[in-house]
């Protein structure tokens, strides 16, 4: 039965993996170990133990920790590194000579030296059959050409992110989850590619870490405790509201009084106009009567 405990291990040429914790072997951080994979034996280093792991990764049962590395193992690793550097230089020169549109990222000898793994990136499919024959004739080993993505390239090479810490993919991530711009929008981040892109040129993996918390926490289920400053601000807001209501009420009264005075002026003007009209009509009647008397 496999253990549920997970150890984060960095393998040469593969990056970080999470094999189950081995039974009967006591491991410490930075221990050098030998790991068995489907491709063969690999040399690795323990990055974190189950008690130190902050993020819970499922155990990858395709990898198995065999034992701790001995002094002889470390000497073998040094020889493999020297051979790998030589193979890297030769392969890069060969790709330029054969005009292959590919970028060589890493060359790694398996721990027992039985196979060489060449990792490369390419924008399209590359026919490297002639290259494989040339490499096999040169080094007399089995050759594996592994095409990887830009994220895997960052995982193998490592580096420092914009946060100032070592890249997550080169330290503890063992799989790449999908990341979208929607996650950056939900967290209120700037959508400037320079701010949300990692060293690989893709969206940063850390955008997915707190996405669920932001989506689920849009409506907080708690109330912030009232501070003295908050109380004073609340009282000031109430006073301002009351003053605004008084001003509005005063404006309403003033406007209503203005309307009333206007109406009274109109009524008085109409009355005056009516009186003057009556006087004029009386005068006209008197003139008519006087004219009739003179004619008689």
Residue that wins the pLDDT comparison between 165 and 229: 165
Is-above-0.85 flag for pTM? no
Q: How many residues does the chain have?
A: 296
Q: What is the pLDDT of residue 276?
A: 64
Residue 258's pLDDT band, with cuts at 50, 70 and 90, is low
Q: What is the pLDDT of residue 89?
A: 93
Q: What percent of the chain has pLDDT over 90?
A: 10
3-state secondary structure the chain: CCCCCECEEEECCCEEECCECCCCCCCCCCCEEEEECCCCEEEEEEEECCCCCCCCCCCCCCCEEEEECCHHHHHHHHHHHHHHHHHHHHHHHHHHHCCCCCEEEEEEECCCCCEEEEEEECCCCCCCHHHHHHHHHHHCCEEEEEECCHHHHHHHHCCECCCCCECHHHCCCCCCCCCCHHHHHHCCCCCCHHHHECCCCCECHHHHCCHHHHHHCCCCCCCCCCCHHHHHHHHHHHHHHHHHHHHHHHHHHHHHHHHHHHHHHHHHHHHHHHHHHHHHHHHHHHHHHHHHHHHC
Q: What is the pLDDT of residue 28?
A: 83
Q: 1-10, 18-27, 126-135: which range is least confident on average? A: 1-10
Boundaries of every domain in the chain: 8-70, 75-157, 178-222, 229-296
Sequence-distant (≥ 6) Cβ neighbours of residue 23 within 8 angstroms: 3
Q: 18-27, 118-127, 178-187: which range is least confident on average? A: 18-27
Pick the closest to residue 179 from 198, 163, 161, 199 (CA basis): 198
Residue 86's pLDDT band, with cuts at 50, 70 and 90, is very high
The CATH class given to the 75-157 domain equals alpha beta
The residue written with tokens 């946060």 in the block is: 163
The whole-chain average pLDDT of the chain stands at: 76
Q: Which two tokens stand for residue 286?
A: 């008197």
The residue written with tokens 């292959």 in the block is: 100
Q: 58-72, 160-174, 249-263: which range is least confident on average? A: 249-263
Mean pLDDT of 226-234: 52
Mean pLDDT of 160-168: 86
Q: What is the pLDDT of residue 92?
A: 92
Mean pLDDT of 220-242: 51
Residue 211's region, left for phi above 0, alpha for psi from -120 to 50, else beta, is alpha
- Asked if 196 contacts 204 with a C-beta cutoff of 8 angstroms, the reply is yes
């Amino acid at each position: 039965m496999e253990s549920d405990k997970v150890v984060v291990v960095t393998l040469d040429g593969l990056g970080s993996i999470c094999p189950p914790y081995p039974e009967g072997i006591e491991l410490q951080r930075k221990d050098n170990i030998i790991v068995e994979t489907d491709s063969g034996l690999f040399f690795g280093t323990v990055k974190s133990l189950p008690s130190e792991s902050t993020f819970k990764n499922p155990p990858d049962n395709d990898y198995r920790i065999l034992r701790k590395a001995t002094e002889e193992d470390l000497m073998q690793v040094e020889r493999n590194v020297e051979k790998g550097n030589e193979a890297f230089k030769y392969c890069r020169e060969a790709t330029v000579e054969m005009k292959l549109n590919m970028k060589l990222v890493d060359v790694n000898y398996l721990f027992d030296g039985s196979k060489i793994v060449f990792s490369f990136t390419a924008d399209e499919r590359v026919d490297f059959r002639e290259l494989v024959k040339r490499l096999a004739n040169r080094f007399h080993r089995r050759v594996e050409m592994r095409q990887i993505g830009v994220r895997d390239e960052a995982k193998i090479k490592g580096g420092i992110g914009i946060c100032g810490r070592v890249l997550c993919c080169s330290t503890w991530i063992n799989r790449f989850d999908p990341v979208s711009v929607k996650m950056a929008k939900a967290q209120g981040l700037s959508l400037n590619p320079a701010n949300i892109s990692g060293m690989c040129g893709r969206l940063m993996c850390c955008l997915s870490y707190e996405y669920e918390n932001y989506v689920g926490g849009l409506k907080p289920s708690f109330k912030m405790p009232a501070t003295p400053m908050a109380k004073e601000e609340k009282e000031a807001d109430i006073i301002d509201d009351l003053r605004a209501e008084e001003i509005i009420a005063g404006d309403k009264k003033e406007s209503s009084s203005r309307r009333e005075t206007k109406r009274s002026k109109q009524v008085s003007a109409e009355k005056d106009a009516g009186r003057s009209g009556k006087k004029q009509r009386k005068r006209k009647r008197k003139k008519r009567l006087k004219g009739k008397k003179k004619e008689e």
